[in-house]
């Protein structure tokens, strides 16, 4: 299968994608950013609810506000830590939350409240919260993942690098306010986008062999 817009081979895109965390200063054109959002829009979605929004943030001041909110959250988190080992671990983890403000564009991928048909019927009929959780198939968050992966592959096909980021979500309540979202909506991922910098030393990650993760039942 071939992407007709760029002539990229579909399997090449899958095989060569890797997370990119460092970008050149070149700003990706709006046309490319819209194409990436469109790839998200076209992803499969449980009951086709499409309870998502893809917000492309170019504005450095907004990115800075978001980064500051993440920084503040880590200060709060550190107050709960009583030993140096955990503090060092958190500092390492924090690194993977903080670089999004250096990306030329950051997508905030927003999950809008979706009421599961099954769960709402069971709840109406008096099922307890504990029992309900057993019937929660988490399809909404899976749909979000499908959209994000579409976006990431699309970006790669267009020559752009991405990093799918959940660690900054420690500040998701602040993101809601900064981005003017409704109370029930929440940012589930920041997806950074930019042209890969040659100094990004991130080589392709080793993956488990297929035999380790594939089981055949015949
Ligand atoms: C759900 C999800 C959340 C992630 N969150 C972060 C993150 O917060 N910060 C980060 O630097 N990378 C994050 N990553 C990127 C992973 O670290 C990366 O995908 C993994 O190391 C495999 O590398 P690859 O994408 O190059 O195959 C995330 C990836 C996924 C799928």
218 inside domain: no
What does the pLDDT look like over 70-117, one tens digit per residue? 999 999 998 899 899 998 999 999 999 999 999 999 999 999 988 888
14 inside domain: yes
Structural domain range at position 105: 2-213
Instruction: Give the list of residues 6+ apart from residue 197 with CB closer than 8 angstroms, or none.
Output: 22, 23, 24
21 inside domain: yes
Question: Is the minimum distance from the CB of 96 to ligand 1 under 6 angstroms?
Answer: yes
Question: 203 falls in which pLDDT band (50, 70, 90)?
Answer: confident
Question: 2 falls in which pLDDT band (50, 70, 90)?
Answer: very low
Would you say 119 and 145 are in contact if contact means Cβ atoms under 8 Å apart?
no
Residue nearest to atom 5 of ligand 1 (CA): 165
Question: Is the minimum distance from the CB of 164 to ligand 1 under 6 angstroms?
Answer: yes
68 inside domain: yes
Task: Looking at the CA of residue 145, tell me the nearest atom of ligand 1.
Answer: 1
161 vs 82, 195, 203, CA distance in Å?
38, 6, 13
| CATH number assigned to the domain comprising residue 23 | 3.40.109.10
Radius of gyration from C-alpha coordinates of the chain: 19
Helices (H), 80-194: 84-98, 117-124, 129-134, 139-157, 172-178
Residue nearest to atom 4 of ligand 1 (CA): 165
Entry pTM: 0.94
Would you say 153 and 42 are in contact if contact means Cβ atoms under 8 Å apart?
no
Per the structure block, which two tokens stand in for 21?
A: 């965390």
Strands, sheet with 161-165, edge to edge from the N-terminal-most edge strand? 52-57, 105-111, 186-194, 161-165
61 inside domain: yes
Q: Give the separation between CA 84 and CA 90, rounded to whole angstroms.
A: 10
Question: Is the minimum distance from the CB of 166 to ligand 1 under 6 angstroms?
Answer: yes
Domain count, the chain: 1
| DSSP helix, strand, coil percent of the chain (3-state; round to 5) | 50, 15, 35
> How much is the pLDDT for 115?
83
83 vs 71, 89, 170, 185, CA distance in Å?
20, 10, 21, 35
Per the structure block, which two tokens stand in for 140?
A: 């909404």
Best of 100, 164, 191, 193 to mutate for ligand 1, by most ligand atoms within 8 A of CB? 164
């Amino acid at each position: 299968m071939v992407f007709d817009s760029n002539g990229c081979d579909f399997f090449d895109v899958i095989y060569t994608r890797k997370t990119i965390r460092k970008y050149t200063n070149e700003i990706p054109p709006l046309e490319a950013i819209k194409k990436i959002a469109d790839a998200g829009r076209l992803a499969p979605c449980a009951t086709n609810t499409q309870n998502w929004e893809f917000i492309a943030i170019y504005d450095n001041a907004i990115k800075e506000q978001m980064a500051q909110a993440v920084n503040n959250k880590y200060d709060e988190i550190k107050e709960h830590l009583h030993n140096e080992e955990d503090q060092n671990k958190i500092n390492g983890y924090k690194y993977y939350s903080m670089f999004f403000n250096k990306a030329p564009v950051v997508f905030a991928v927003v999950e809008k409240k979706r009421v599961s048909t099954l769960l709402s019927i069971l709840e109406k009929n008096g099922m307890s919260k504990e029992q309900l959780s057993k019937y929660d198939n988490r399809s909404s968050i899976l749909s979000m993942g499908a959209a994000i992966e579409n976006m990431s592959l699309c970006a790669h096909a267009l020559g752009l690098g991405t990093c799918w980021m959940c660690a900054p979500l420690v500040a998701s309540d602040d993101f809601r306010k900064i981005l003017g979202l409704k109370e029930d909506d929440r940012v589930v991922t920041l997806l950074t986008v930019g042209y890969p910098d040659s100094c990004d030393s991130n080589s392709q990650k080793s993956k488990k062999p297929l035999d380790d993760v594939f089981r055949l039942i015949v």
